[in-house]
Structure 1
Amino acid sequence: MKSIDSPKSLTNSFHSLGFSLKSKQFLRQKTNSAIVLFCFFSFLGSESLSSEENPSLESPLQNAEQILFVTARASQTTGSLDFYTLNNGEWLAVLEKIPVRLGRNGLLLSFEKREGDGHTPTGIFPIQRVLGKGKKEIRNLEYTEIRKNYHWNDNPKSRSYNQLTKHQEKGAIPLWDSYIYELFVVIEHNTKPAFPGLGSMIFLHVWNEDKPTSGCVGVSKEVLETLVSVLDGSKKPNILIQILD
Structure 2
Amino acid sequence: MKSINSPKSLASWLHFLGLSLKSKQIQYHKINCITVLFSFLYFFSLFPLSGEGNSPSNSPLPDSEQILFITAKPGETTGSLDFYALTEGEWTPILEKIPVRLGRSGLINGVEKREGDGHTPSGIFPLKRIVGKQKRQIRNLEYNEIRKNSHWSDSPSSKNYNQLIPYREKGAVSLWDSYIYELFFVIEHNTKPAVPGFGSMIFLHPWNEDKPTSGCVGVSKEILETIVSKLDGSKNPSFFIQILD
Q: TM-score range by the shorter chain?
A: 0.7 to 0.9
Decide whether the 8 Å contact of 2:10 with 2:37 is kept in 1. Answer: no
Q: Which amino acid aligns with 2:144?
A: T
Shift of the 201–51 alpha-carbon distance from structure 1 to 2, 3 Å rule, reads closer
- The yes-or-no answer on 1:45 pairing with 2:36 is yes
1:130 partner SS: strand
2:229 corresponds to 1:229: yes
- Render the CA deviation track for 1:71-98: whole Å, top value 9, x for unaligned: 0011111100000000001111111000
Aligned to 1:209: 209
Q: Does 1:36 align with 2:6?
A: yes
CA distance in 1, matches of 2:60, 2:5: 22
For the pair 1:149 / 2:140, whether they are aligned, the reply is no
- The aligned counterpart of 2:64 is 64
Q: CA deviation at 1:49?
A: 5.5
SS of alignment partner, residue 61 of structure 2: coil
- Per the TM alignment, residue 48 of structure 1 is displaced from its structure 2 partner at its CA by 3.0
Report the Cα offset of residue 40 of structure 1.
Answer: 4.1
- 1 CA distance for matches of 2:42 and 2:203? 28
Instruction: Give the C-alpha shift of residue 46 in structure 1.
Output: 4.9
Separation of aligned partners in 1, 2:150 and 2:212: 24
- Aligned residue identity for 1:37: P
Aligned to 1:226, the other structure's residue is in SS state helix
One-letter code aligned to 1:174: S
Counterpart in the other structure of 1:7: none
Q: Find the residue that maps to 1:86 and give its secondary structure.
A: strand
Task: Give the direction of change, closer, same or farther, for the CA distance of 1:72–1:157 in structure 2 (3 Å limit).
Answer: same
Structure 1 residue 229: Cα displacement: 1.3
CA contact (8 A) 1:50 1:57 kept: no
The answer for the alignment partner of 2:29 in structure 1 is none
2-structure distance, mates of 1:242, 1:40: 13
2:101 partner letter: R
Provide the residue aligned with 1:124 in structure 2. 124
**Offset of 1:50 from its aligned partner?**
8.0
- Whether contact under 8 Å (1:130, 1:144) holds in the other structure is yes
Give me the whole-angstrom Cα distance separating, in 2, the residues matched to 1:169 and 1:80: 35
Report what 1:100 is aligned to.
Answer: 100
2:134 partner letter: G
Alpha-carbon distance, 1:117 to partner: 0.2
Residue 113 (structure 1) aligned with residue 113 (structure 2): yes
Q: Verify the 8 A CA contact 2:152 2:164 in the aligned structure 1.
A: yes
- Give the drift of 1:35: 5.0
Over the aligned positions, Cα root-mean-square deviation in angstroms equals 2.0
Corresponding residue for residue 51 of structure 2: none
Q: Which residue of 2 aligns with 1:238?
A: 238
What is the CA-CA distance between 1:61 and the residue it aligns to?
A: 1.1
* Alpha-carbon distance in structure 2 between the residues aligned to 1:137 and 1:71: 29
Aligned positions, number: 209
Shift of 1:208: 3.0
* Percent identity for Structure 1 against Structure 2: 66
What's the offset of the Cα at 1:209?
3.0
Aligned counterpart, 1:20: none
Q: Structure 1 residues 106, 44: closer, same or farther in 2, change over 3 A?
A: farther
AA matched with 2:39: S
Q: 1:127: how far off?
A: 0.3
Over 3 Å counting, the alpha-carbon distance change for 1:79 and 1:51 in structure 2 is closer
Listed as ranges, the gaps of 5+ residues in structure 2 are: 14-33, 44-54
Question: C-alpha displacement at 1:134, in angstroms?
Answer: 1.3
Alpha carbons of 1:110 and 1:35: their partners in 2 closer, same or farther (altered >3 Å)?
Answer: closer
